């Protein structure tokens, strides 16, 4: 897990732009999985920020050097909420196969978050959700997340979402380039140039 997070594209604006939709989908699936685990472990009052690794095994500890190494690689301290999530991700990794053996039908609660971070860096606390930062992914209600169908987060499914963002970003850049060219020529975009 540490190696994956060190290799993530932290503070990468272009990555955020190119993965806006897929990061939103990953956040939604993260909230769903956290709801499933919180419900099973009896910590629904702590959802959506429940530390499921600690709930699964209160004795689990993690080496603080993991977080120190990650922040050194990133080049700055992580946001407090991100630090909390990442710390429990490290704890979860330390549990090994224990969670899967006890709940074989449950998905890894932190895999969506790991991929979200890999696709553009950290998130910010938002009003009733997290900011990605282009858009806010809302927590929703616990009951809504428990009823939510799983969102595919395999490479192919996420690539489809990323392609939409790539096309939209190209359109935005083309419009901006046309506007700059028109301004340089002294006319409005789409104008006919000199007046009659």
> Cis ω on the peptide bond leading into residue 133 (within 30° of 0)?
yes
Across 71-80, 142-151, 166-175, which has the greatest mean pLDDT?
A: 142-151
Spatial CA neighbour of 128 closest among 27, 15, 55: 27
The CA distance from 38 to 171, in Å, is 42
- Segment 154-175 shows an average pLDDT of 84
pLDDT at 90: 93
Contact 187, 47 (CB under 8 A): no
> b or e along 100-139 (b: 16 or more beta carbons within 10 Å of the residue's beta carbon)?
eeeeeeebebbbbbbbbbbbbbbbeebeebbebeeebbbb
Question: Which of 148 and 12 is assigned the larger pLDDT?
Answer: 148
pLDDT at 134: 65
> Cis ω on the peptide bond leading into residue 48 (within 30° of 0)?
yes
pLDDT at 9: 81
- Measured CA to CA in angstroms, residue 102 lies from 20, 37, 119 at distances of 34, 12, 30
Tokens of 52: 């499921």
Question: Which of 188 and 171 is assigned the larger pLDDT?
Answer: 171
Which residues, in sequence order, are bridge partners of residue 125? Answer: 130
Quick check: 87 pLDDT over 80? yes
Quick check: 96 pLDDT over 90? yes
The CA distance from 62 to 124, in Å, is 24
Tokens of 18: 């190119």
The CA distance from 44 to 69, in Å, is 32
Residue 192 — very low, low, confident or very high, per pLDDT cuts 50/70/90? low
The CA distance from 84 to 97, in Å, is 22
Across 28-37, 64-73, 129-138, 169-178, which has the greatest mean pLDDT?
A: 28-37
Global model pTM greater than 0.85: no
10-57 tens-digit pLDDT = 888 777 778 888 999 999 999 999 999 999 999 999 888 889 999 999
The CA distance from 51 to 28, in Å, is 17
106-146 tens-digit pLDDT = 999 999 999 999 988 788 887 788 887 666 788 989 999 99
């Amino acid at each position: 897990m540490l190696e994956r997070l060190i290799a993530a594209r932290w503070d990468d604006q272009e990555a955020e732009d190119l993965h806006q939709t897929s990061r939103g989908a990953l956040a939604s699936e993260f909230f769903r999985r956290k709801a499933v685990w919180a419900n099973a472990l009896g910590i629904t009052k702590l959802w959506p920020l429940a530390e499921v690794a600690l709930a699964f095994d209160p004795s689990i500890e993690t080496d603080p050097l993991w977080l120190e190494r990650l922040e050194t690689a990133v080049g700055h301290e992580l946001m407090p909420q991100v630090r909390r999530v990442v710390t429990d991700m490290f704890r979860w990794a330390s549990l090994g196969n224990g969670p899967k053996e006890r709940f074989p039908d449950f998905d890894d609660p932190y895999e969506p978050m790991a991929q979200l971070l890999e696709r553009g860096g950290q998130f910010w606390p938002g009003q009733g959700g997290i900011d990605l930062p282009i858009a806010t992914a809302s927590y929703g209600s616990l009951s809504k997340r428990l009823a939510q169908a799983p969102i595919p987060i395999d490479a192919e499914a996420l690539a489809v979402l990323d392609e939409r963002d790539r096309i939209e970003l190209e359109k935005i850049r083309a419009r901006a380039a046309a506007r700059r060219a028109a301004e340089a020529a002294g006319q409005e975009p789409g104008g006919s140039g000199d007046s009659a």
